[in-house]
Amino acid sequence: MKIDRQAGWLKGAEILPSPNYDDRPDEADITGIVIHNISLPPGQFGGGWIKDLFLNQLDADAHPYFTEIAHLKVSAHVLIRRDGSVQQFVPFHKRAWHAGVSCWEGRERCNDFTIGIEMEGDDETDFTEEQYIRLVEVSKTLLATYPLLTNDRITGHEHIAPGRKTDPGPHFDWQYFRQLLQT
């Protein structure tokens, strides 16, 4: 994989530009990766609901849960589907709206300096081997492209918004991910 550094898009990803982003305070200040999980409706995988949420096209009448979230303006840089396919919604040098109220090592507003990667999943289900392989591939590409990123600058949403968020959750195998990242 490669990143078109000027455009901020990952070559090989399905590009689906979200309107939910803005400029970072400092485009060069990309110093962290935040891993999330998402499933829509909750606990269900497949379909286009996540894409629709990030593109502000979620049909509030399609599922009772959607009436609670259809108004949200959120995005991530990348979504890794259960089959390992990758969709990108926001260029990496722009600020995606993925972390919300957050703090990492004393720095608040984590959207300002992080890249958000959503894993299609939930707190109750193991992630797939294809997802781990693709996450490692995307992470290594980001590490090679953005010089301020390092292996120890990858964290979970639960770590930067404790008590508010639980993702990527207990079924995300951090040890396995970090082992793969070292190979």
Task: Output the pTM of the full model.
Answer: 0.97
Count the domains in the chain.
Answer: 1
Q: Is 70 helix (H, G, I), strand (E, B) or coil?
A: coil
The per-residue pLDDT for range 137-183, each reduced to its tens digit, is 999 999 999 999 999 999 999 999 999 999 999 999 999 999 999 99
What is the domain-level CATH number for residue 20? 3.40.80.10
pLDDT at residue 158 in the model: 98
Is 130 one of the annotated active-site residues of the chain? no
Domain of 57, in residue numbers: 3-182
Gyration radius of the chain's alpha carbons: 15
DSSP state letter for 165:
B
The amino acid present at 98, given as its one-letter code, is H
Show the DSSP H helices in 60-128 as ranges: 66-69
List the catalytic residue out of 27, 108, 118, 129.
118
pLDDT at residue 169 in the model: 97
Q: Is 151 helix (H, G, I), strand (E, B) or coil?
A: helix
The per-residue pLDDT for range 26-60, each reduced to its tens digit, is 999 999 999 999 999 999 999 999 999 999 999 99
